Amino acid sequence: MLSRRSVRVKVMQFLYAMNRDSELSDSEVRKKYSERVDTSFELLLFNLYIIREITRLSIDDKRKRRAKHLPTDLDKIFTAKLFKNDIIQFLVNDKYFIAQIEKYGFADKLDKDYFKKLYTEFSTLEPYADYLRQEEESQENTVAILLELFRFCRQSEFYNDAIEDHYSAWIDDKSLVIGATKKILKALPTDEKNVLKTYYPDDETVKEYGEALLDRTIEEKDTLEELIKPMLKNWDHERLAVIDTILMNMAVCEFLHFESIPTKVTLNEYVDISKEYSTPKSKEFINGVLDQILKLLDSEGKIQKKGRGLVQ
């Protein structure tokens, strides 16, 4: 579920936390990093839970429509198929998902009024009415309406604010969670056991890459900065943006110690991250400094890349 870019951002954030809090130990940072990875997965399940609970309100909606004295044509044909379909029913009955909902206390985070507001707004939209009018039920139609519901939710300030109230990580992980949620909705139902668990971030990305990057950058901080300082012409190293220094340290660490990652990929990734997390001028600055360091290290034979992506 997690990409290397998202892992880089997490590592950057914890290195920044160490910079701001001198009492924060290496072991504490590593523990927080692991907890943060868990939170990303929890966010994915939380979004699936919200979708499930919103669709459940179609049962109440059916009962109310049936009780009308003057039902509309849509009221007469209304069914609770938004909830009673194979995809949502998988989320209702999957034992692993049920256990995670209890573990993370999702039911205590949001009440029925929250889901009701979102369902009520969605139920007035034409795509939902079109879905209800479809005489032939198909997997394709079900996936389409659930994706439409999820799209509606993501555009709702009410939806995003509620998630962010419980998970500050939502801003950073939103795009990844959205992608994984869509993928899951398209893949369900399935006979695969604990299929949702397979979306937990893999060890290769989280540990072999992320933890190693965090550890190496911490351990070799002084060495990395000594490589960078000579390249800072007309710049006072002490006055550099903290984030810029951290990003350059991480990039040089990747140049030297992560042989499967092409240097061009590393350079582009850290420049791109700087656009979002640092100053307006950081992009050009970081790109220029890293380019100089890369040329120096390459000329000294210190860049060793192996496997796929060997071409720089």
Mean pLDDT of 41-50: 98
pLDDT of residue 98: 98
For residue 145, is pLDDT > 50? yes
pLDDT of residue 235: 66
pLDDT of residue 277: 94
DSSP state of 202: P
| Distance in angstroms (rounded) separating the CA atoms of residues 153 and 155 | 5
Question: What length is written for the chain?
Answer: 312
- Cα→Cα distances 77→72, 112, 123, 127, 145, Å: 9, 25, 14, 15, 17
Mean pLDDT of 199-208: 95
Tens-place pLDDT, residues 264-287: 999 999 999 999 999 988 999 999
Tokens 């992506």 — which residue? 309
Q: Closest by alpha carbon to 253, among 12, 16, 37?
A: 12
Q: Where are the beta strands (DSSP E) in the chain?
A: none
Q: Determine what percent of the chain is predicted with pLDDT higher than 70.
A: 96
pLDDT of residue 233: 76
pLDDT of residue 312: 41
Tokens 């997490």 — which residue? 10
pLDDT of residue 232: 87
Provide the sign of the torsion angle of the four alpha carbons 207, 210, 213, 216, taken in this order. Answer: negative
For residue 141, is pLDDT > 70? yes
Domains and CATH numbers, the chain: 4-14+21-199 (no CATH), 220-299 (1.10.940.10)
Q: What is the mean pLDDT of the chain?
A: 94
pTM of the shown model: 0.91
177 burial (CB, 10 Å; 0-12 / 13-18 / 19+) is buried
Give Cβ neighbours of residue 141 (< 8 Å, ≥ 6 apart): 131, 134
Cβ atoms of 115 and 57 closer than 8 Å: yes
Here the tokens at position 230 are 């000579």
For residue 310, is pLDDT > 90? no
Q: Where is average pLDDT lowest: 61-65, 96-100, 230-234? A: 230-234
Tens-place pLDDT, residues 175-185: 999 999 999 99
pLDDT of residue 309: 45
Evaluate the omega torsion of the peptide bond into residue 189 and state whether it is cis, within 30 degrees of 0: yes
- Cα→Cα distances 36→30, 40, 65, 110, 123, Å: 10, 7, 44, 22, 35
For residue 302, is pLDDT > 80? yes
Q: Determine what percent of the chain is predicted with pLDDT higher than 90.
A: 89
Tens-place pLDDT, residues 205-259: 999 999 999 999 999 999 999 999 999 876 655 557 899 999 999 999 999 999 9
Helices 26-56 + 95-104 axis angle, to 10: 120
Here the tokens at position 280 are 């307006």
For residue 84, is pLDDT > 70? yes
DSSP state of 231: G
